[in-house]
Amino acid sequence: MTDQEHNDQVDTEAQSAPETEQPAEQAPNDAEALSAQVETLANALASAKEQTLRAQADAQNSRRRAEQDIEKAHKFGQEKLVADLLPVVDNLERALSSIDRESEANKPIIEGIELTLKSFTDSLARHQVVALNPAGEPFDPQLHQAMTMVDNPDVEPNTVIDVFQKGYTLHGRLVRPAMVVVAKG
């Protein structure tokens, strides 16, 4: 080995020696830095987990809302059609009430209208359309439309005493209020 190589080797060892002593001096600083970094990463992980949970909950809520909207669309999508068909029921009922039931010539007509009305109302009932005929019940402004108020001492105040036109609900939602006469107090 030449002197130059020997000097280089000694320089290398000299440089190595302080480095081995230096980590021992920096060990507490490195441990603090590492623990701070671990704490920062732990906080970031907790924040990421919380954001993930919130995102999952938000997605689940959106899915549930969409399912409810679809269910309502299926239930109440036919509301306009039902509202358009209700005058047909009213007209069949009016025809039955205005026809002379004593005449033998009208018996087949009455029977035909009654069967048509029954078929129609059964079809509506299969689709959860329910008639409201509130005669004798207390007046409910959410289900009834008061056409007039009449003094009637035989009945309690705010009681429906006559029904001009039946009301109807579709799956519990009001399609048309019942038009009624209410007793005054």
**pLDDT tens digit string along 117-130?**
999 999 999 999 99
Q: Are residues 109 and 177 in the same domain?
A: yes
CA atoms within a 13 Å half-sphere pointing along the CA-CB vector of 6? 3
Give yes or no for residue 2 having a pLDDT over 90.
no
Q: What is the mean pLDDT of the chain?
A: 86
Q: What integer is the mean pLDDT of 158-167?
A: 92
Range of the domain at 9: 1-76
Q: 67 and 51 share a domain?
A: yes
123 and 95 fall within a common domain: yes
Q: In terms of residues, how long is the chain?
A: 185
pLDDT at 39: 92
**pLDDT value at residue 9:** 58
As given in the structure block, the two tokens for residue 2 are: 């030449």
Q: Does the structure show a pLDDT above 50 at 62?
A: yes
pLDDT digit string, tens, across residues 66-119? 999 998 888 888 889 999 999 999 999 999 999 998 989 999 999 999 999 999
Residue 165 and residue 99 share a domain: yes
Domain stops at, among 53, 76, 99: 76
Whether the full predicted model's pTM is greater than 0.95, yes or no, is: no
Q: Do 126 and 168 sit in the same domain of this protein?
A: yes
The verdict on 72 and 85 lying in the same domain is no
Of the candidates 76, 104, 120, which is a domain's last residue? 76
pLDDT band at 139 (very low <50, low <70, confident <90, very high): very high
What confidence score (pLDDT) does residue 26 get? 55
Q: Are 56 and 83 in a shared domain?
A: no
The pLDDT of residue 18 is above 50: no
Tell whether 39 and 126 lie within a shared domain: no
CB atoms closer than 10 angstroms to residue 82: 18
**Count of domains in the chain?**
2
CA dist 182 and 185 (Å) reads 10
Q: Do 66 and 107 belong to one domain?
A: no
Run of H or E including 18? helix 3-76
Is the Cβ–Cβ distance between 140 and 182 less than 8 Å? no
